[in-house]
Amino acid sequence: MSRTSFDNQPPIIICRDVQKWYGNFHALRGVNMEVRKGEVVVIFGPSGSGKSTFIRTINRLEEHQGGQIIVDGIELTHDVRNIEAIRSETGMVFQQFNLFPHLTVMQNVTLAPLNVRKWEKEKAEQVALELLERVGIPEQADKFPGQLSGGQQQRVAIARALAMQPKIMLFDEPTSALDPEMIKEVLDVMIELAKSGMTMLVVTHEMGFARSVADTMYFFDEGQIVETGSPEDIYNNPQEDRTKLFLSQILQH
Amino acid sequence: MTTDTKVIAPPTERYTILGWLKRNLFGSIPDSILTIFAIWLTYAMLKPAFAWIFGEARWEVIPDNLKLFMVGRYPAEYLWRIWLVLYLLVALVGFVWGVWVKKKETTGYVLLGIPIFLALLPFSMQIRLQILLLDVIGYMLYMFGRGENPSYKRWAIIAMLAYFPIAIFIIHGFGETGIMAKVEPNLWGGLLLTILLALLGIIFSFPIGVALALGRQSKLPIVSWICIGSIELVRGVPLITILFMMDLMLPLFLPAEIRIESVIRALVGITFFSAAYMAENIRGGLQAIPNGQREAAHALGLSAFHTMAFIILPQALRAVIPILVSQFIGLLKDTTLVMILSLFDVLGIGKAVLGNPDYIGTTKEVYLFVAALFWVISYGMSYASQRLETALGVGER
């Protein structure tokens, strides 16, 4: 995907000097980022570097204590209406899937459209079926999450997030809890989504995925963005020593 | 290199009855000695018990006072209202059972067993026929509820919600005269009172318990303090103290012209007592739900209320069904304490019957009967909850 396709698009996420503490621990130390509509961003870095914390501040699962976050023109403040508005425009996929175990796959996917968007049941179910088709598991609609494999569960989670027709998708290490043979089926869905023009922020260590679909990569360490650039720049010509060290560690095998 | 993997059937062991006996009971000489000794011991202990139950015991005390045991001083001319409530209950239970549990075999045993059991009991023919009719109605509604109709579930829930107000209305009645004349709650007694107090205590304490559990976790300090305070206050006091308070203290705080029925006072005391325990049990369930569930719901844009109602509470309540049922069984037995409010529950009636000179020396019979009644109801609740758990798939998903 060429960068020009979104270069003249307006920024949909603006983060300025985002700060976050856990007790005395300074988790985010002034993060600045602009994401344009249709851009696919991959965030990587060592564990504890604040990359998950950062992505979770964008839909307010974590509260930022300094700086500014503006999503789709709405600033994140303590105002619950702003938070709910941003959350309904932003889909999120978790490392641990977090499907609702007491609801069927179909109920998982239609719950938010029915109750937040107030859609008719028929419309919600039709959209849900289309999405399950898109992630490749329409035949599992009436099963419960516990009856599915990890890869299938994560694909349901993606369908569930897409059912709200979000403008932005956040992925927090979506393949880290999966068995190796299931990683590909989830990445395939994400690649297809990226190619369809969805704005995506992905925290991942899947370097093959990053290389094939990322527009911009951010390397996080110690709560800061250390280096940013296109996948070619990052892989072939990293500037910072910390980036080089980290890449050498994860690309060794 | 090719390997040949054969699928082998698991090993099976088949015994004849004699083979089973030989292997398990008479496998060796010490085993045989132990088996024979155990058989002798069982016989030695059961023989006098059976001799008493089928020979010496004066069971006539039970059928003679059956009406007292069942409904206390409820007027005989309105007894048909109690039967009506019972018919409705059996129909409701049969229907709900058919809608949710569907399993046929055990239900069949229960339904066949009841008439045989009744034939052995020394009740009057009229009562036996009534109970047989109850059985038939329950079975018919059960078969009806088994029908695959998606709207049945909704009807079952509506019927359950509507049943209790209707039942209370029929039992209590209205107006001064006529077939539906009012029967003062102070006349309700026996098993009727026990079951009403327990069921209404459960029904009222459930929402209060949920509210207290949620309130305890509230971020608003005043709400959480009030909830913690009331839970700890009630939990720190024995039920009997609360009932005394309701009996002696409450009238002091209320204006003299307001006189609350003892039954209502007992019910309020039982409800608050049960709600405090329920709140803590439900809190346990709430804490067992992983934080990821809440995060996923928030990330979808669900409001705090929807998150609680659709995601957290259903899972939390499902997780604590066994604890709640235990608590309800405890509550059922605790209702015997209403004796101190001069109410005659089934145990109180038992004591009153023993005070009658005609029945001196029937202590064992009366208390055994009361104990059996409690056991049947408690086990019934326990069994129903196990079936309910299976139907809801607790622990499977």
- Residue B360 counted as domain residue: yes
Measured between CB atoms, does A111 come within 8 Å of chain B? yes
Name the residue with higher pLDDT: A193 or B60: A193
Does B68 fall in a domain? no
Of the candidates B297, B306, B397, the beta carbon closest to that of A102 is on: B397
Task: Compute CA distances A157 → A131, A150, B154, B327, whole Å.
Answer: 11, 10, 29, 37
* Nearest-neighbour CA in chain A from B389: distance (Å): 13
Interface check A164 vs B, CB under 8 A: yes
Cβ count within 10 A of residue A34: 15
Are B287 and B354 contained in the same domain? Answer: yes
Residue B311 belongs to domain with CATH number? 1.10.3720.10
Interchain proximity B298–A61, CB inside 8 Å: yes
pLDDT of residue B57: 82
User: What is residue B311's predicted lDDT score, i.e. its pLDDT?
Assistant: 95
Q: Is residue B333 part of a domain?
A: yes
B21 lies in the same domain as B127: no
CB contacts, 8 Å: A111 with chain B:
300, 302, 310
Shortest Cα distance, chain B CAs vs residue A101, angstroms = 6
Residue at B69 is within a domain = no
Show residues of chain B in contact with A87, CB under 8 Å: 298-301
Instruction: Mutate one of A115, A116, A118 to test the B interface: name it (highest B CB count within 10 A).
Output: A115
CB pair distance less than 8 Å for B292 and A96: yes
CB distance from A113 to chain B under 8 Å? Answer: no
Asked if B52 and B80 sit in the same domain, the reply is: no
Residue A66: strand pairing partners? A19
Least CB–CB distance from B301: residue in A100, A102, A112: A112
Say yes or no for a CB contact (<8 Å) between A94 and B295. Answer: yes
- Name beta bridge partners: A199: A168
| B300, B303, B315, B389: best to mutate for the A interface, most A CBs within 10 A | B300
Asked if B227 and B365 sit in the same domain, the reply is yes
The string of DSSP letters for B151-201 reads HHHHHHHHHHHHHHHHHHHHHH--SSSSTT----GGGB-HHHHHHHHHHHH
B383 plus B239 within the same structural domain: yes
Beta bridge partners of A44: A219
Report the candidate in B143, B291, B343, B313 with the shortest Cα–Cα distance to residue B214. B313
Q: Does B310 touch chain A (CB under 8 A)?
A: yes
Same domain, B373 and B281: yes
Provide the number of structural domains found in chain B. 3
ipTM of the prediction greater than 0.90, yes or no: yes
The pLDDT value recorded for residue B3 is: 63
Are both B162 and B251 inside the same structural domain? Answer: no
Q: Which of A80-89, A123-132, A176-185, B166-175 has the highest mean pLDDT?
A: A123-132
pLDDT recorded at residue A161:
96
How far apart CA B301 and CA B295 sit, in angstroms, is 10
Q: Has residue B1 been placed in a domain?
A: no
Q: Which domain holds residue B18?
A: 11-56
Residue A252 pLDDT: 66
Q: What angle do CA A99, A104, A106 make, to 5 degrees?
A: 95
Show residues of chain A in contact with B292, CB under 8 Å. Answer: 94, 96, 98
Nearest-Cα distance to chain A for B315, in Å, is: 7
Residue B303 and residue B163 share a domain: no
Chain B residues with CB under 8 Å of A61 CB are 295, 298-299
CA–CA min distance B159, chain A (Å): 24
Task: Provide, as residue numbers in chain B, all residues whose Cβ is less than 8 Å from the Cβ of A60.
Answer: 298
Instruction: Pick the residue of A52, A58, A87, A176 with the most B CBs within 10 A to test the interface with B by mutation.
Output: A87
Question: Does the residue B195 lie in any domain?
Answer: no
Q: How far is B146 from chain A (nearest CA, A)?
A: 21
**Are residues B342 and B271 part of one domain?**
yes
Three-class HEC string of chain A: CCCHHHHCCCEEEEEEEEEEEECCEEEEEEEEEEEECCCEEEEECCCCCCHHHHHHHHCCCCCCCEEEEEECCEECCCCHHHHHHHHHHEEEECCCCCCCCCCCHHHHHHHHHHHCCCCCHHHHHHHHHHHHHHCCCHHHCCCCHHHCCHHHHHHHHHHHHHCCCCCEEEEECCCCCCCHHHHHHHHHHHHHHHHCCCEEEEECCCHHHHHHHCCEEEEEECCEEEEEECHHHHHHCCCCHHHHHHHHHHHCC
The model's pTM: 0.81
Contact A105/B at CB under 8 A? no
* Nearest residue in chain B measured CA to CA from A57: B299
pLDDT higher than threshold 50 for residue A1: no
Residue A65 sits at the chain B interface (C-beta within 8 Å)? no
Least confident of A163-177, A234-248, B60-74, B143-157: B143-157
- Residue B295 and residue B340 in one domain: yes
The answer to the question of residue B4 being in a domain is no
Phi then psi for residue B372, to 5 deg, are -65, -40
Q: Is A115 on the interface with B (CB under 8 A)?
A: yes
Q: Could A61 and B302 be called an inter-chain contact, meaning their C-beta atoms sit closer than 8 Å?
A: no
Are residues B161 and B229 both part of a single domain? Answer: no
CB pairs under 8 A between A and B: 70
Q: Is A87 on the interface with B (CB under 8 A)?
A: yes
Is B150 in the A-facing interface, judged by CB distances under 8 Å?
A: no
Under 8 Å between Cβ of B159 and B145: no
State the average pLDDT for chain A.
92
Nearest to B310 among A111, A144, A157 (CB): A111
Q: How close does chain A come to B166, measured CA to CA in Å?
A: 33
Tell me the chain A residues in contact with residue B318 when contact means C-beta distances shorter than 8 Å: 102
Q: Is residue B41 domain-shared with residue B104, that is, in the same domain?
A: no
pLDDT in tens, chain B (397 residues): 556 677 887 777 676 788 888 888 888 889 899 999 999 999 999 999 888 888 888 888 888 888 889 888 888 888 889 889 989 988 898 888 888 776 666 666 666 676 677 666 667 777 778 888 888 888 888 888 887 777 888 888 899 889 988 998 898 888 777 778 888 888 888 999 999 999 899 889 999 999 999 999 888 999 999 999 999 999 999 999 999 888 887 778 777 777 778 888 899 999 999 999 999 999 999 999 999 999 999 999 999 999 999 999 999 988 888 888 899 899 999 999 988 888 889 999 999 999 989 888 889 889 999 999 999 889 888 887 887 777 776 545 4
pLDDT of residue B47: 92
**Within an 8 Å CB–CB cutoff, is residue B306 touching chain A?**
yes
Q: What is d(CA B137, CA B84) in angstroms, rounded to the nearest whole number?
A: 12
B289 touches chain A (CB under 8 A): no
Residue A90 with chain B: CB contacts under 8 Å: 299
Q: Is residue B200 part of a domain?
A: no
Residue B318 forms contact with A (CB below 8 Å): yes
Distance in Å, alpha carbon of A74 to nearest chain B alpha carbon: 15
Residue A205 has φ and ψ, to the nearest 5°, of: -110, 10
